[in-house]
């Protein structure tokens, strides 16, 4: 069974929103939904505070910093507020009690004074001060009043007393402002912490789940999937999803709420000015979307170039030995420079897009502010908009642009995350190897039987054709044959690394497909053709983190004749670097041999286990081998025929077919392929 893995590509960039993917992603968020909800709640509170701050300045300016009273000249007493009648049809009136259209009419007809006044009622604490300045204060029914300019001439100490009410009001507003800032700070810290905590936990879970899944994938999967791609799944793609959860999703809430709140407040302050600003919206949105489109294509190109750069670097560095030995530095450098310049160009294009767009947005936002000053300023002068409202408007306009910009960028984040999610789910949906349950054989004898086994890595490209042979319990079977004839494949099938297409492989008469996979593999110790060492020390590489005691591991190493370890300065604690490059190939083989011995298996499988060891060491290893193989079934692959001469049975493989089998003597007398190979090697030595 060969599955199709190559359907996905690292460059996949699908749609920005996919409800099905989103639902699956939400599963990862589910355990932390309470934390996340608190976060969203905090964000709403924070946004609320943010929108209230300009309003506080508005109140400070309109209610306290400007004087409220004006003089209006009318034929009859105005019908609004509580006017104070002066002589000759003039009335003192609080401007904020007059509806804006009425003010506008008064203003246009010249009935309303441009001057503002302070009114000091009779019996108030300020009356005593006011009475000291008869040239400034004009008496009126119920108190006296003074113009703003006239008041400026008074000493500061007296002004403070006169304007006590406004000063207390401003102080109260300042305290309110400060409290709002403190709450914003505290909630802000809490929100960021909770959000990042949620994000990190989600990432942790995702990485754990992906890795656990990868561990259970059939080995055939890894034949067709580059390592780098899987690494990207676990690191970059998970990070892209985290970015969506922590920045984009939360910004979406905040920005949408902020835009709605600001527009609402603007209409409440003065709907006409608000409409003028909204008229700019189509341009802003158009610009934002055009920007998003450009950024997306630039971003895609940058991603592609980074992937190429990484792949090239990884390959060049791991192949540095070959490059230097074959003097290919120039060629490698040329190839790298070509990719490097493409990456540079792609990045520059991306940066240029940003370089134009950010100033453009800032221009549009300043243009909107200019519009507010022009249109709102006229309204202030006409009296239909208060000065405080105008200042608030200017702040709100600035506030409106930031979220629009962020929303347009959020789109890209969302798209990246969706593509990442899609790739991750394709990986997670890759069927796991069926290994659970299954039978275990008590009292395993170790009889192995291949019955008419047909196998192909790809479709009908048969690597093994009708292979049948038996290894009796405790016997040793050798497999020989030319390179590429399928020897290693036989071992892989025995370990159930791949599924056969036809026939049966039996262990003690039970099909290995029916066996518990962990059971099957734990009964066999394998020395594979390519030795793989992990980072860690030599001891760890022999025990592989199992509970084999150290003494047994050392015993196994001695048994395998890996005495070189004891001569190393750090002995068994010597660090193995980069898959063991600091060890010789033969030393690595001896270690993997020790590994197999330490696991004390019922069945021993050796693929070219001694190919890289010198003849003298090999003959010692052969002796140890003979000891281990006693009472154990063993399958041994060897090119050097001298090493398998004493095997109970020799299977000769050619082009995936068994052409001969029997003991050494039988095969020699058969005078076939084995005899020919043997004659050839004998002649050499
Ligand atoms: N993972 C794989 N995917 C596809 N084809 C493969 C794979 N592994 C091996 N093959 C092919 O299967 C055939 C048998 O390979 P195998 O490794 O079993 O040969 P071998 O007898 O062990 O050779 P050698 O003596 O060189 O180790 C070869 O033609 C090889 O190209
Ligand atoms: Mg092989």
Pick the CATH number of 448-684 from 1.20.140.10, 3.40.190.10, 3.40.50.300, 3.40.50.1970: 3.40.50.300
Indicate whether 176 pLDDT > 80.
Answer: yes
Under 8 Å between Cβ of 598 and 554: no
Q: Read off φ and ψ for residue 279, nearest 5 degrees.
A: -60, -25
**Do 102 and 74 touch, CB atoms closer than 8 A?**
no
Closest atom of ligand 1 to 490 CA is 18
- Residue for token pair 């604690």: 573
Whose structure tokens read 């190393």? 568
Q: How far away, in angstroms, is 639 Cα from ligand 2 center?
A: 10
Give the pLDDT score at 456.
93
Q: Output the residue whose Cα is nearest ligand 1's atom 14.
A: 486
Q: State residue 5's pLDDT score.
A: 37
Q: Ligand 1 atom closest to Cα of 481?
A: 21
Rounded Cα distance, 496 and 63, in Å = 84
Query: For a pLDDT cut of 70, what percent of the chain falls above it?
Result: 97
Q: How far is the CA of 328 from the centre of ligand 2 (A)?
A: 30
Bridge partner list, 651: 479, 661
**CA torsion 275→278→282→287, rounded to 10°?**
150
The preferred substitution site among 461, 482, 487, 606 for testing ligand 1, maximizing ligand atoms within 8 Å of CB, is 487
Rounded-to-integer distance, Cα 619 and Cα 537, Å: 27
Q: Give the whole-angstrom CA distance, residue 103 versus residue 91.
A: 14
Ligand nearest to the CA of 481: 1
Q: Which atom of ligand 1 is nearest to the CA of 220?
A: 1
Beta strands across the sheet bearing 143-147: 84-85, 90-94, 69-73, 117-121, 143-147, 138-140
Characterize the bridge pairing of strands 117-121 and 143-147. antiparallel
- Dist CA 242 CA 380 (whole Å): 48
β-strands 502-507, 448-456 pairing:
antiparallel
What is the C-alpha separation between 224 and 210, in angstroms, rounded?
Answer: 18
| Any atom of ligand 1 within 6 Å of the Cβ of 490 | no
- Which atom of ligand 1 is nearest to 656's Cα? 14
Q: Which residues pair with 470 in a beta bridge?
A: 449
Reduced to 3 states (helix: H, G, I; strand: E, B; else coil), residue 250 is: helix
Q: Which ligand is nearest to the CA of 486?
A: 1
In short, whether 224's Cβ falls inside 6 Å of ligand 1 is no
Residue nearest to atom 4 of ligand 1 (CA): 457
Q: Which DSSP category does 579 fall into?
A: G
Pair of tokens at residue 314: 């990884």
- Whether the CB of 386 sits within 6 Å of ligand 1: no
Q: In this predicted structure, which of 267-281, 482-496, 616-630, 647-661 has the lowest mean pLDDT? A: 616-630
The response to whether residue 484 sits with its C-beta less than 6 Å from ligand 1 reads yes
Mean pLDDT, the chain, rounded, equals 85
* Band of pLDDT at residue 685, cut at 50, 70 and 90: low
**Helices 329-382 and 281-318: angle between axes, nearest 10 degrees:** 160
Token reading at 7: 């359907």
CA distance 488 to 541: 23
504: Cβ–Cβ under 8 A, 6 or more apart, which residues?
449, 450, 451, 452, 453, 511
Q: How far is the CA of 211 from the centre of ligand 1 (A)?
A: 28
pTM of the entire predicted model: 0.75
Residue whose pair of structure tokens reads 């006239």 in the numeric block: 150
Locate the domains of the chain by residue range: 448-684
Mapped onto helix, strand or coil, the DSSP state of residue 148 is: helix
Q: Which atom of ligand 1 is nearest to 489's Cα?
A: 18
Report whether 652 contacts 672 (CB < 8 A): yes
Average pLDDT over residues 45-64: 90
d(CA 449, CA 481): 19
Q: Residue 100's pLDDT band (boundaries 50, 70, 90)?
A: confident
Which pLDDT score, from 0 to 100, does residue 490 have?
94
Per-residue pLDDT tens digits for 132-173: 888 888 888 888 888 888 888 888 888 888 888 888 999 999
Q: What angle do CA 245, 246, 249 make, to 5 degrees?
A: 55
What residues have a C-beta under 5 A from ligand 2, the ion? 488, 529
- 291-317: average pLDDT: 84
Distance 386 CA to ligand 2 centre (A): 88
Ligand 1, atom 1: closest residue by C-alpha: 223
Q: Tens of pLDDT along 315-366?
A: 888 889 889 998 889 999 999 999 999 999 999 998 998 888 888 888 888 8
For residue 496, report the distance from its CA to the centre of ligand 2, in Å.
Answer: 16
Q: With a 6 A CB cut-off, is 489 part of the ligand 1 pocket?
A: yes
Asked whether 533 and 588 are in contact (CB, 8 A), the reply is: yes
Evaluate if residue 8 carries a pLDDT over 60: no
Atom of ligand 1 lying closest to residue 653 CA: 21
Residue 34 pLDDT = 92
Whether 485 is in the pocket of ligand 1, judged by its Cβ within 6 Å, is yes
Q: Is the CB of 487 under 6 A from ligand 1?
A: yes
- Please say if the pLDDT value at position 17 is more than 80: no
CA of 607 to the centre of ligand 1 (A): 13
Distance 487 CA to ligand 1 centre (A): 8
* 463 pocket-lining for ligand 1 (C-beta < 6 Å): yes
- C-alpha atoms less than 13 angstroms from C-alpha of 122 in its C-beta half-sphere: 5
- Nearest residue CA, atom 3 of ligand 1? 457
Most confident option among 11-15, 17-21, 89-93: 89-93
* CA–CA gap between residue 352 and residue 439 (Å, rounded): 64
- Our mutation pick for probing the ligand 1 site, out of 457, 491, 499, counting the most ligand atoms within 8 A of Cβ, is 457
Collect all residues with Cβ–Cβ distance below 8 Å to 143 and sequence separation of at least 6.
119, 120, 121, 122, 124, 127
Largest CA distance in the chain: 142
**In angstroms, rounded to a whole number, what is the distance separating the alpha carbons of residues 584 and 586?**
5
Q: What is the pLDDT of residue 210?
A: 92
Q: Quick one: pLDDT band at residue 503, thresholds 50, 70, 90?
A: very high
Q: Which of 415, 12, 14, 45 is nearest to 243 (CA)?
A: 415
What is the SS3 assignment for 580?
helix
Among the bound ligands, name the one nearest to the CA of residue 639: 1
If phi > 0 it is left, if psi is from -120 to 50 it is alpha, else beta; for residue 479 that is beta
| Whether the CB of 529 sits within 6 Å of ligand 1 | yes
User: Does 66 sit in the ligand 1 pocket, CB within 6 Å?
Assistant: no
Which strands form 510-511's sheet, in the order they lie side by side?
462-471, 448-456, 502-507, 510-511
Distance 527 CA to ligand 2 centre (A): 11
* Pair 512, 491: CB distance under 8 Å: no
pLDDT in tens, 513-557: 889 888 888 888 888 878 888 888 888 888 887 788 888 888 888
Interior CA angle at 525 toward 524 and 530, to 5°? 125
Atom of ligand 1 nearest to the CA of 482: 25
At 234-280, the pLDDT tens digits run 888 888 888 888 887 778 888 888 888 999 998 888 888 888 888 88
- Closest residue by Cα to atom 24, ligand 1, is 483
Quote the CA–CA distance of 650 and 652 in Å, as a whole number: 6
């Amino acid at each position: 069974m060969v599955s199709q893995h190559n359907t996905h590509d690292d460059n996949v960039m699908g749609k920005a929103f996919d409800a099905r993917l989103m639902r699956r992603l939400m599963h990862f968020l589910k355990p932390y939904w309470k934390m996340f909800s608190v976060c969203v709640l905090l964000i709403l509170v924070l946004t609320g505070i943010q929108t209230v701050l300009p309003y506080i300045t508005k109140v400070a300016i309109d209610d306290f910093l400007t004087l409220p009273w004006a003089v209006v000249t009318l034929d009859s007493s105005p019908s609004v507020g509580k006017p104070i009648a002066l002589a000759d049809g003039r009335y003192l009136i609080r401007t904020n009690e007059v509806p804006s259209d009425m003010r506008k009419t008064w203003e246009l007809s010249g009935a309303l004074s441009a001057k503002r006044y302070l009114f000091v009622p009779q019996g108030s604490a300020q009356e005593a001060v006011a009475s000291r300045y008869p040239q400034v204060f004009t008496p009126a029914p119920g108190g006296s009043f003074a113009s703003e300019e006239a008041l400026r001439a008074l000493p500061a100490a007296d002004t403070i007393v006169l304007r006590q009410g406004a000063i207390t009001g401003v102080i109260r507003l300042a305290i309110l402002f400060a409290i709002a800032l403190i709450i914003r700070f505290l909630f802000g810290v809490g929100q960021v912490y909770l959000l990042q905590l949620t994000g990190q936990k989600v990432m942790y879970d995702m990485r754990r789940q992906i890795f656990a899944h990868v561990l259970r994938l059939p080995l055939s999967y890894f034949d067709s999937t580059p390592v780098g791609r899987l690494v990207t799944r676990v690191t970059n793609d998970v990070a892209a999803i985290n970015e969506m959860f922590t920045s984009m999703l939360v910004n979406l809430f905040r920005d949408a709420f902020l835009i709605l709140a600001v527009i609402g407040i603007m209409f409440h302050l003065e709907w006409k000015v608000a409409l003028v600003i909204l008229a700019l919206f189509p341009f802003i949105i158009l610009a934002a979307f055009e920007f998003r489109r450009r950024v997306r294509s630039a971003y895609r190109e940058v991603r592609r170039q980074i992937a190429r750069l990484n792949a090239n670097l990884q390959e060049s560095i791991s192949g540095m030995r070959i490059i230097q030995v074959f003097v290919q530095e120039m060629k490698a450098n040329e190839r790298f420079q070509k990719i490097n310049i493409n990456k540079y160009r792609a990045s520059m294009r991306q940066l240029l897009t940003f370089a134009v767009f950010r100033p453009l947005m800032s221009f549009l936002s300043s243009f909107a502010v200019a519009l507010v000053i022009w249109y709102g300023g006229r309204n202030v002068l006409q009296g239909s908009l208060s000065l405080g409202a105008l200042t608030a408007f200017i702040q709100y306009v600035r506030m409106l642009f930031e979220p629009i910009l962020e929303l347009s960028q959020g789109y890209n984040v969302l798209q990246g995350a969706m593509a990442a999610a899609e790739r991750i789910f394709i990986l997670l949906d890759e069927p796991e190897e069926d290994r659970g349950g299954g039978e275990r054989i008590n009292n395993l004898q170790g009889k192995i039987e291949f019955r008419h086994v047909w196998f192909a890595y790809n479709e009908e490209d048969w690597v093994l054709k009708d292979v049948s042979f038996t290894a009796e319990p405790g016997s040793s079977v050798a497999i020989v044959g030319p390179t590429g004839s399928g020897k290693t494949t036989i071992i892989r099938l025995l370990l159930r690394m791949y599924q056969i297409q036809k026939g049966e492989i039996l262990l003690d008469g039970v099909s290995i497909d029916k066996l518990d996979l962990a059971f099957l593999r734990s009964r066999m110790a394998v020395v594979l053709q390519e030795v793989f060492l992990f980072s860690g020390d030599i001891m760890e590489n022999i025990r592989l983190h199992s509970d084999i005691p150290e003494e047994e591991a050392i015993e196994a190493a001695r048994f395998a004749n890996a005495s070189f370890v004891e001569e190393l300065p750090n002995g068994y604690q010597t660090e193995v670097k980069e898959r063991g490059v600091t060890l010789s190939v033969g030393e690595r083989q001896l270690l993997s041999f020790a590994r197999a011995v330490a696991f004390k298996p019922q069945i021993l499988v050796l693929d070219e286990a001694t190919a890289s060891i010198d003849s003298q060491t090999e003959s010692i290893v052969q002796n140890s081998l003979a000891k281990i193989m006693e009472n154990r079934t063993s399958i041994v692959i060897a090119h050097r025929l001298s090493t398998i001469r004493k095997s109970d049975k020799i299977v000769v493989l050619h082009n995936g077919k068994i052409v001969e089998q029997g003991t050494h003597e039988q095969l020699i007398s058969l005078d076939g392929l084995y005899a020919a190979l043997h004659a050839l090697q004998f002649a050499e030595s």
